[in-house]
């Protein structure tokens, strides 16, 4: 980081934006294996928040990798950089007063913790979408698990690259044998219970 830069505090700040939006901002960080349902559930949560009149933005792994992070591969180092960039972008969205939903495998605890450390206390809400790998493989529409098992994809989380489960997530959703809508409602209930919305 350059020592020649300083954070510039503008007159219109997060407090003003949250007041205008009539809700608090935060980062809902959806993590879990590929096929666990992160993007589906995050999308449903955003739809429900939109119906409630809340300002949101959903950052999805594939979408971000098609743009800002298209220069990154899937080595451990590139995955770490992927999450670092997403964390910094998410922090700006939260400062903008937006309820930000980030749906990324984010397999390493240390990287998720580094994003949490960027945020003020209470801004980072870790949402663990917990589904057995066997269930994830059955849901896999792109056939990625099979390609990984056949050795056609390297560094695939859950096959030849580890996934470190959250030890104490704010929200733990077991997404196996339950309708995605029910899990999304649990996230909305958490936000209401903790006065974000």
CATH code, domain with 184? 3.40.50.300
Higher pLDDT, 3 or 138: 138
Kindly name the residue from 25, 90, 102, 106 that is annotated as catalytic: 106
Burial class (CB in 10 A: 0-12, 13-18, 19+), 175: buried
Residue 99 domain-assigned (yes or no): yes
Residue 28 domain-assigned (yes or no): yes
The pLDDT, as a whole number, for residue 9 is 72
Does 106 participate in catalysis according to the annotation?
A: yes
Binding site: residue ranges? 32-39
Higher pLDDT, 132 or 65: 132
CA angle 104, 108, 111 (to 5 degrees): 80
- Token match 């997403």: residue? 86
- C-alpha distances (whole Å) from 117 to each of 22, 27, 88, 114, 135 are 26, 12, 11, 5, 32
- Asked if the model's pLDDT at residue 160 lies above 80, the reply is yes
Binding site for ATP: residue ranges? 32-39
Residue 53 domain-assigned (yes or no): yes
Residue 65 domain-assigned (yes or no): yes
Higher pLDDT, 1 or 153: 153
Higher pLDDT, 8 or 149: 149
Q: How confident is the model at residue 8 (pLDDT cuts 50, 70, 90)?
A: low
Domain count, the chain: 1
The pLDDT, as a whole number, for residue 83 is 86
The pLDDT, as a whole number, for residue 5 is 66
Please provide the average confidence, as pLDDT, over all residues in the chain: 89
| CB neighbourhood size of 62 (10 A) | 9
Range of the domain at 26: 14-194
Higher pLDDT, 191 or 151: 191
Find the mean pLDDT for residues 115-124: 95
Residue 5 domain-assigned (yes or no): no
For CA atoms 179, 184, 188, 189, the dihedral sign is: positive
- Asked if the model's pLDDT at residue 141 lies above 90, the reply is no
pLDDT per position as a tens digit, 17-59: 888 888 999 999 999 999 999 999 999 999 999 999 999 999 9
- Asked if the model's pLDDT at residue 10 lies above 60, the reply is yes
Higher pLDDT, 64 or 183: 183
Q: Return d(Cα 31, Cα 150) in angstroms, integer.
A: 25
- C-alpha distances (whole Å) from 131 to each of 35, 36, 137, 169, 193 are 8, 5, 10, 15, 25
**Strands 56-60, 99-103: parallel, antiparallel or unpaired by DSSP?**
parallel
Task: Kindly provide the residue ranges of all beta strands, DSSP E only, lying in 19-133, ordered along the sequence.
Answer: 26-31, 56-60, 99-103, 124-130
Residue 165 domain-assigned (yes or no): yes
Residue 9 domain-assigned (yes or no): no
- Asked if the model's pLDDT at residue 98 lies above 60, the reply is yes
Find the mean pLDDT for residues 98-111: 93
């Amino acid at each position: 980081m350059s020592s020649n830069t300083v954070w510039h505090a503008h007159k219109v700040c997060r407090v003003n934006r949250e007041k205008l939006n009539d809700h608090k901002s935060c980062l809902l960080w959806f993590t879990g294996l590929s096929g666990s349902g992160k993007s589906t559930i995050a999308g449903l949560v955003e739809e429900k928040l939109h119906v409630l009149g809340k300002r949101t933005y959903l950052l999805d792994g594939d979408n971000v990798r098609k743009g800002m992070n298209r220069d990154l591969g899937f080595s451990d180092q590139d995955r770490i950089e992927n999450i670092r960039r997403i964390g910094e972008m998410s922090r700006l969205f939260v400062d903008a007063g937006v309820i930000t939903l980030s749906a990324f495998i984010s397999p390493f605890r240390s990287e998720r913790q580094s994003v949490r450390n960027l945020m003020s206390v209470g801004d980072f809400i870790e949402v663990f979408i917990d589904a057995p790998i066997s269930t994830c493989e059955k849901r896999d529409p792109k056939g990625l698990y099979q390609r990984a098992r056949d050795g056609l994809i390297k560094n695939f989380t859950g096959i030849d690259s580890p996934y470190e489960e959250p030890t104490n997530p704010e929200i733990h959703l077991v997404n196996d044998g339950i309708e995605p809508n029910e899990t999304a409602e649990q996230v909305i209930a958490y936000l209401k219970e903790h006065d974000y919305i």
